[in-house]
A and B are shown apart, each in its own frame.
Chain A
Amino acid sequence: MFKIIKKKLLVPNIYLMDIEAPRVANTAKPGQFVIVKMHEKGERVPLTICDYNKEKGTITIVFQAVGRSTEEMAKYKEGEYFEDFVGPLGKPSEFLNENIEELKNKKVLFISGGVGAAPVYPQVKWCHEHGIKADVIMGTRSKDLLILEDEMKSVADNVYVTTDDGSYGFKGLVTDKFKDLVDNEDKKYDYVVAIGPIIMMKFVSLATKPYEIKTIVSMNPLMVDGTGMCGACRVTVGDKTKFACVDGPEFDGHLVDFDEAMRRQAMYKTEEGREKIKIEEANKEKHHHHHGGCGCCGGEE
């Protein structure tokens, strides 16, 4: 059993929780994820690690209540327990294998979409702690959905917020801001890391390609076990089939087949029968939940 030490509503529908999981906290690295199973009848929900504290033995997760499981998760209170909490899963960010001195001479840009700010944060923090300068573009639909802005500012070189409706920061998409920075503000980047809805990561990859900037994306396909034993999370990368849970979740954005990934993520979304009944039972009308997918999908639902 894994205790919920802290629960905080960041903005409507987006929650932060610190979970007591000493073994996970002890080995967690940026870029990795966990799987949460709330109770006996629950499903296994993958969530990216947002932060970790080895001393306290806690892992921070941030999720958006977008479907049956995450809405149920949002009802858990401080002091209550999740039955299962496993991780850290997946490979740590590529950064961790690179030469830090070389990285210090490079300009890194992180781009987050929606709840993707949560998994971007530990990577920017890691860069900060290792003397690597990084800029961040944080995209969100509107000002009231923006999360972790202060936290991000405390570790990033520059933070640029974009909103779809222009209610805060730059009006437009993250790709618009990226082009603006490179074309108009003469910014040079050697490395882009994009985390958010698949559609956003696709368009970021398309935007960086003409500039030949290496682009890493963090995939969030359907998952069951998260340890490489089922292949539910398979992704085509450079014409090879990869399992996102063990080979990823980070891949070269210029090689990922995003259209296939979007189609696969919708596998249980388009199913009308059973899932609809379940949702009606739970009296939830608004959202279809991409089962087993990542709670970090941001505004794509």
Chain B
Amino acid sequence: MLLATASPSAAAQAAPRQLPSSRTAAVQQPLIGGVRRAQRRAAARLAVVAAAAPPAAAEALQRFSAFDRVSVLSEALPYLQRFRGKTIVIKYGGAAMKDESLKARVVSDLVLLSCVGIQPVMVHGGGPEINTWLNKLGIEAQFKNGLRVTDAATMDVVEMVLGGRVNKSLVSLIQQAGGQAVGLCGKDSDIIRARQMVEKDIGFVGEVTSVDPSLLRTLVSDGYIPVVASVASNGKGQGLNVNADTAAGEIAASLRAEKLILMTDVPGVLRNKDDPSTKYTALTIRNCKELVDEGIIAGGMIPKVDCCIRSLSQGVSATHIIDGRQPHSLLMELLTDEGVGTMITG
């Protein structure tokens, strides 16, 4: 009755056409409720699809017949089988985080992986977002050797922005795309414990000392997608700002993940840093060390590669540095031979 009175127009339309007079409200209720739910769901799906597929991708898709699409899908089978039930840790950041359409596609990739039985864990930072909010609060962002100088006030903002805003917006995006996400920060159940890097004198910046994967294991085995913000606890109530790459690497190590995927703003490890065609598809630890010695791997790539080697030496099977700016880079890397980035193995 309540429902019927709440939407009199729908009831008026449905009732006279189908049932002349004597149908009970009990029958009508689920009908109306069902219609509404379907409408709501359709609207939500439309919104996601619109965000996820910009015009270019839609045109590309139109060139394929239904048979093409199905055969491409069936070709992914061996990859899906290989990674089924395996844990994959994805460090999400950089350009893919700022651009809304990329964001939606990363999220839909993630949900797809989770649907086909792969267990993704997402770890994220959020430097630009933190800067925005520091600005709004009139706190000046300071950096020392590429690391953020984090005093008590900045740490509060970091924790709020990463754990509150960035984390929950990712969670709600995943939920919208039909996944089951749980947003956490390193403090929850002490997933990441860290020690303050006093020697670097940059405030509350932490070095990971231990990772407790038990909560993540529970979530992942029940089909949830954990989304972890790179804020760590020091065991005494103080939050610490931890590099998100490192956090992702250590979480991957603790879960003995099949893969660690770092989403960056570069195509991968390049021989000539200005020419994307000189990208290495696959490297071993040994290759990496030689390339570092030759000066080919330099600058901001060194900490990324170090992070990969560090988790490889702890038993992660493969690590990938991929171009997060490319649409569907996650799926390209996981489900095709060429990949979009550089794979580093032991």
**A and B held together in a complex:** no
Q: Which residue numbers of A lie inside 8 Å of B, CB to CB? A: none
